[in-house]
Chains A and B, each alone.
Chain A
């Protein structure tokens, strides 16, 4: 009976891990760029949301805004901050563009540079200290099931994560634009031959991926805490989940998130000192038997 709470917790954690990897998955799947700036975009999203929720720089003009209920401002931040980060993603894509057709290391190195720049920029603007991204009281606190308290926010975050994943799925599978994005992932030459503007598609995908990173940041930093280098904590699990699930596979990322979440949740409950290591061992174990991850297909990145 002691096991059940940890499994439930692991499932919720898994959703959050899946959410974390979503933007990363999209960019690496379609553009074959390993976006190491994912973590910094994640952090930037959270910082921007913090500013939108309480715009101290507005001075007196912000007073009226601050009088609005937190839930409203939070909701606004959840929409606006990712849009801003998406615009930044478009800018980043212009730089990344120069590495198309070259080896994957170049895109990786460029985005690593961008990650350093973004992280340092955050440190300059907001200082190196710990910040706090407030969440509405209605989703804060704990609730009791059996005789255990669970975090309400965590389940709210997981629910939000499921909604977002569903939206991404609907977009990829049920809209014509999604079909193009998927086609771009499989065979960009063919897409070009069909007369689709591939550069515009790439700008869009990069912006979308960046926005998803930002949303993940807004949802996860109330749990992790917010500091300039929080992105490093985000990018490595995202990486791991993508590889575990198979590069470019939506369901792969979702399932891998669950696998990692449940593994970490259960080891966290019963052999806590192994909880960090468990995800890497899981990865090595799976990849030893399934070379391209759970649901991965052949990718140009292997060449």
Chain B
């Protein structure tokens, strides 16, 4: 060993220590402050995406969670404990979701995890959450597998999924538009799941599938697909295209004004994705769980509160994503209050029996949690573009509403195997 190498060893040591010290020194958390009360705060870890494909929806999701938290803090918190929060970006990447969940649980010592847009990220987070027994609310990922093969005892799903929407739309559409159906399927798990659900319902109700066009993930140019659709000339086009692919397809269908040529049946259209777009881009019939234009009691007040607390948001009216984030968090905190403890199993048992009356929920029917697969059963709406209005916020026209009992996703329920209570580690933050 010579001198030169010794100094190099020191160099490395120095560099390591220096960089850690620098970065760690800068580490203060982007989170709520306050909470000097006698009782320790309850910390909620928000895992909404801030970058990547779902950044815009993740932002809405986060705002919904924050409004529910603010509501409870105004009442003095839960169980006398103030509620704090930490938000980390999951980058719409499962591997990052996994790391972020570890960080939130082990370092930030969160009591609960809330927030999801992409099912891949939600899976990654729920797996870590299940390992530690931390309750995780999947607010907005609408893949059927979330309450199917990837369900977990600690995870609760608050959005309607593809199968729910398909059940709400297919039967009526066959009667109204015709029997020749064409499927446009995003070529990945979610797309195939959704299209298979539609296919089953179509054949069950006497329709025929004339073809299926698989669209690879990441497709930006749909010209070939749109030509192919015309060559098939179906009565109904059922599209299961998601994320940025859908945004590109929307723009191209709108441009060619193909939206009115066929009866399009689309999956759920998230409010942050369509907000600000021209109406021609919103073609066909699509699903949603909530709309700010509902003529139901409480909606106006809800919208006013959103506008007051989110003046900085580019989205001037709350949509389904915000609504789900809000309701998931609110239900969780109410369940904690009702259970009188933060013990995970006690809260899980409360949530499994959770019921939300229609008038609170601002939907047409009561909503309830399915204890077998942990998916909230709620009213499902079909909507189309509102061509009668020029108000930029009044984009949707609600076509129908279907009670939760009629759109149950039995396929997913059958695939779901929840872990036993005993197999879920105890966690009481």
Contacts and interface: CB of A to CB of B under 8 A. Distances in A.
A275 B219 contact: yes
Interface string A254-271: 000000000011111100
B273 A130 contact: yes
A229 B224 contact: no
Contact of A275 (B52, B53, B56, B216): B216
A79 B174 CA distance: 49
Nearest to A119: B51
B358 interface: no
A128 B49 CA distance: 11
A12 B215 CA distance: 20
Interface string A278-293: 0000000000000000
Interface residues of A, number: 47
B40 interface: no
Nearest to B245: A225
A147 B247 CA distance: 27
Contact of A142 (B231, B248, B258, B281): B258
B340 interface: no
A225 B276 CA distance: 12
A267 B214 CA distance: 11
A269 B277 contact: no
Given A141-B255, A272-B214, A6 B227 contact: yes
A229 B223 contact: no
A125 to B, nearest CB: 11
Contacts of A266: 224
A268 B224 contact: yes
B223 A154 contact: yes
Contact of A128 (B55, B214, B227, B256): B55
B261 A224 contact: no
Contact of A272 (B218, B224, B247): B224
A51 to B, nearest CB: 14
B223 A13 contact: yes
A22 B325 CA distance: 44
Given A129-B314, A224-B248, A142 B256 contact: yes
A225 B228 contact: no
Interface in A215-232: 222-225, 227-229
A299 interface: no
A127 interface: yes
A153 interface: yes
Interface centre among A10, A123, A148, A276 (most CB of B within 10 A): A276
A196 B51 CA distance: 45
Tell me the interface secondary structure of chain A in the complex: helix
A9 B227 contact: yes
Nearest to B231: A2
B187 interface: yes
B178 interface: no
Contacts of A228: 55
A277 B261 contact: no
B277 A148 contact: no
Interface string B58-89: 11000000000000000000000000000000
Interface of A: 2, 5-6, 9-10, 12-13, 123, 127-132, 134-135, 140-142, 147-154, 222-225, 227-229, 233, 264-269, 272-277
28 contacts: A6-B227, A9-B224, A127-B314, A128-B50, A129-B272, A129-B276, A130-B56, A130-B273, A130-B274, A132-B276, A132-B281, A135-B255, A141-B257, A142-B256, A149-B258, A151-B256, A154-B255, A222-B255, A223-B220, A223-B221, A224-B251, A225-B247, A225-B251, A264-B221, A268-B221, A268-B225, A273-B216, A275-B219
Interface of B: 50-53, 55-56, 58-59, 187, 213-221, 223-228, 230-231, 244, 247-248, 250-252, 255-258, 261, 272-278, 281, 314-315
Give the 8 A-B residue pairs with the shortest CB-CB distance, closest first: A268-B224, A128-B55, A273-B214, A129-B56, A276-B216, A142-B256, A128-B56, A225-B247
Given A6-B224, A153-B255, A267-B224, 20 more contacts: A10-B224, A123-B55, A128-B59, A132-B276, A132-B278, A148-B230, A149-B258, A151-B256, A223-B248, A223-B255, A225-B251, A229-B55, A264-B221, A264-B224, A266-B224, A268-B228, A269-B228, A272-B216, A273-B215, A274-B216
